[in-house]
Every structure is written in structure tokens, then in C-alpha cells.
């Protein structure tokens, strides 16, 4: 009896009587999927250079860029330029991060704070930050402080907006639970408000990190006397496209490394979410 059942089941499978539904999701991910595109692009670039199809003055070969990079690193000013740029981005980012989080907490946890802060920040957001550069140069001079200030503004806005939205969106049922469990205001903030707002905060953090590099690039290419952007600006004057490409590669590496670092921290801190997405 059982064998017949098994046999018919096997036949049914062979003739595909149970029709599978058409799959609408894109299916399983390719291994190292995110690298495929960039690697292909690099290969094309190298192939075109090797075949002599690219003007070396406009687009130098990949190996020329690498050689220039090594030369600038060992014999040139590249290490100091990188250090200068990193310091600017880091100070601006740190200030922006602190300001964004503190303002979001103040606006999210008290009605007075909300009334004072939220509208003001949104007003600030409506003004393109890079448009503030001339004014900031007048106020702070053309030294380091105005650059750090601009980067801080670019960073704090997305961090504030996302953290504040997450704070405001905390499930009311959890607030009720905290009341029932007799939590103090401090315990409520620490155990419910902050963990509940962390996912939103990380969205803001990643936007902020990207923003800090964006601000840096603009500032260094227009108003700098040192740093990576300055190096590239000088190279433009002397027609050194390989040096410009070295600068771009370094910026790219900065962006990629910092974004991955934030994502790593996010995965660690929000480990409770992994069970949901898997």
C-alpha cells in the first residue's frame, strides 16, 4: 500500500503535475555580487589602456595610477595630505554626530525641546549647506575651523532627522508597558527609548558618514591650501590626470571603509534584528 503511494508520488513529481508557481523574487544572490560590476569595469579600463584605445593624458592606465600612487606615498606629500583630510573629516563628523544625537534626544523627549529645535533644524535643512561656505569663511577665516564647521552641519542634519523620527515613532504600546512595569524616566529612556531609536539612528549615521566625505571633497577642492583635494587641484593645473585619479581612489577607499565600519557596528549592535531579516 505504501509503495504504491510512493510510486504515484514519484510519477507526479516526474511529470510535474504539481505546477510550481512562477517565481517573482530575483532568486539567490550571486557570490561576491557587489564586486562583479567594479571588477568588470577595472578589467575594461585595463584592456582599453593596454590596447592603446585611451589617451594616456586624459585617462592614464591603471598601472600608471598605481605607480604614481606609490611614488606620491614614498617620495611625496600623500601621507600628510591624507592625514590632513582625515583629521578634517573626523573632527567635523564627531561634532556633527554629537550635535545630531543630543538635539534629537532633546527634541524627542520633551515638548519644549521639540518646539525649540525641530523647526529650527528643518529650517537649517532647507538651506543648502555648501551655500553657507562664503559666510563661514567671513566668520571663521579660511583656516580649518570653517571646514570642520561645514562638515559638522552636513553630518548633523541626517543624524538628527533619522534619530528624531525613530524617537517619535516608538511604539506607544512599549510606553504603556514601561508605565505598567513602573520604570523610572531614566530607565525608560535607557531601556526603551534609546534601543528603540537605534535602527533609525544607524540610518542617519550612514548618511552622515557619506555626507562628511562629500563635504570634505567640495571644501578641499575649492578652498584648501592642503589636503587631498588641494593635491588634486594642483594636479589639475599641471595636467597630471594620474594624480587626480590617485586622489579619487583614496576618497573612494575612505568612503567604502567608513561605510563598512558603520555597517559592521550596526550589525553588532542590532544583532536582535538579524533573526527578523533572516
Q: Which residues are at the interface with other proteins (CB under 8 A)?
A: 173-174, 176-183, 187, 191-192, 195-196, 198, 270, 272-273, 275-276
Closer Cβ to other proteins, 93 or 188, answer by number: 188
- Closest separation between CB of residue 167 and other proteins, Å? 15
Distance from C-alpha of 231 to C-alpha of 250, rounded to nearest angstrom: 12
Burial profile 189-221: b = 16 or more Cβ within 10 angstroms, e = fewer: beebbbebbbebbbbbbbbbbbbbbbbbbbbbb
Closer Cβ to other proteins, 138 or 187, answer by number: 187
Closer Cβ to other proteins, 87 or 190, answer by number: 190
Closer Cβ to other proteins, 122 or 181, answer by number: 181
Closer Cβ to other proteins, 122 or 179, answer by number: 179
- Closest separation between CB of residue 229 and other proteins, Å? 41
- Closest separation between CB of residue 183 and other proteins, Å? 5
Which of 160, 71, 168, 97 is closest to 123 using CA atoms?
160
129 burial level (CB within 10 Å; 0-12, 13-18, 19+): buried
Distance from C-alpha of 186 to C-alpha of 193, rounded to nearest angstrom: 10
- Closest separation between CB of residue 107 and other proteins, Å? 22
Residue 26: phi and psi, rounded to 5, are: -70, -5
Closer Cβ to other proteins, 183 or 189, answer by number: 183
- Closest separation between CB of residue 110 and other proteins, Å? 17
Distance from C-alpha of 48 to C-alpha of 61, rounded to nearest angstrom: 9
- Closest separation between CB of residue 176 and other proteins, Å? 6
Give 100's contacts (C-beta < 8 A, 6+ positions apart).
155, 156, 157, 158, 159, 160, 163, 204, 208
Handedness of CA 8, 10, 12, 18 (dihedral sign): positive
Amino acid at each position: 500500500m505504501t509503495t504504491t503511494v510512493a510510486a504515484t508520488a514519484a510519477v507526479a513529481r516526474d511529470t510535474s503535475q504539481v505546477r510550481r508557481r512562477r517565481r517573482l523574487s530575483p532568486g539567490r544572490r550571486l557570490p561576491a555580487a557587489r564586486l562583479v560590476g567594479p571588477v568588470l569595469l577595472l578589467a575594461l579600463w585595463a584592456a582599453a589602456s593596454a590596447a592603446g584605445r585611451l589617451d594616456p593624458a586624459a585617462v592614464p592606465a591603471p598601472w600608471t595610477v598605481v605607480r604614481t600612487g606609490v611614488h606620491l606615498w614614498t617620495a611625496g606629500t600623500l601621507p600628510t595630505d591624507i592625514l590632513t583630510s582625515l583629521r578634517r573629516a573626523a573632527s567635523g563628523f564627531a561634532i556633527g554626530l554629537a550635535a545630531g544625537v543630543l538635539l534629537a534626544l532633546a527634541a524627542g523627549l520633551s515638548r519644549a525641546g521639540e518646539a525649540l529645535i525641530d523647526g529650527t533644524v528643518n529650517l537649517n535643512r532647507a538651506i543648502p549647506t555648501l551655500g553657507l561656505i562664503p559666510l563661514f569663511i567671513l566668520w571663521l577665516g579660511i583656516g580649518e575651523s570653517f571646514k570642520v564647521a561645514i562638515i559638522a552641519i552636513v553630518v548633523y542634519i541626517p543624524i538628527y532627522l533619522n534619530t528624531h523620527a525613530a524617537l517619535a515613532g516608538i511604539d506607544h504600546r512599549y510606553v504603556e508597558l514601561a508605565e505598567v512595569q513602573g520604570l523610572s524616566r531614566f530607565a525608560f529612556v535607557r531601556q526603551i527609548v534609546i534601543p528603540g531609536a537605534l535602527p533609525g539612528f544607524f540610518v542617519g549615521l550612514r548618511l552622515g558618514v557619506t555626507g562628511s566625505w562629500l563635504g570634505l571633497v567640495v571644501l578641499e577642492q575649492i578652498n584648501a591650501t592642503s589636503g587631498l583635494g588641494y593635491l588634486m587641484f594642483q594636479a589639475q593645473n599641471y595636467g597630471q590626470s594620474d594624480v587626480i585619479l590617485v586622489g579619487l581612489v583614496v576618497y573612494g577607499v575612505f568612503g567604502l571603509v567608513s561605510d563598512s565600519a558603520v555597517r559592521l557596528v550596526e550589525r553588532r549592535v542590532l544583532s536582535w534584528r538579524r533573526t527578523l531579516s533572516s
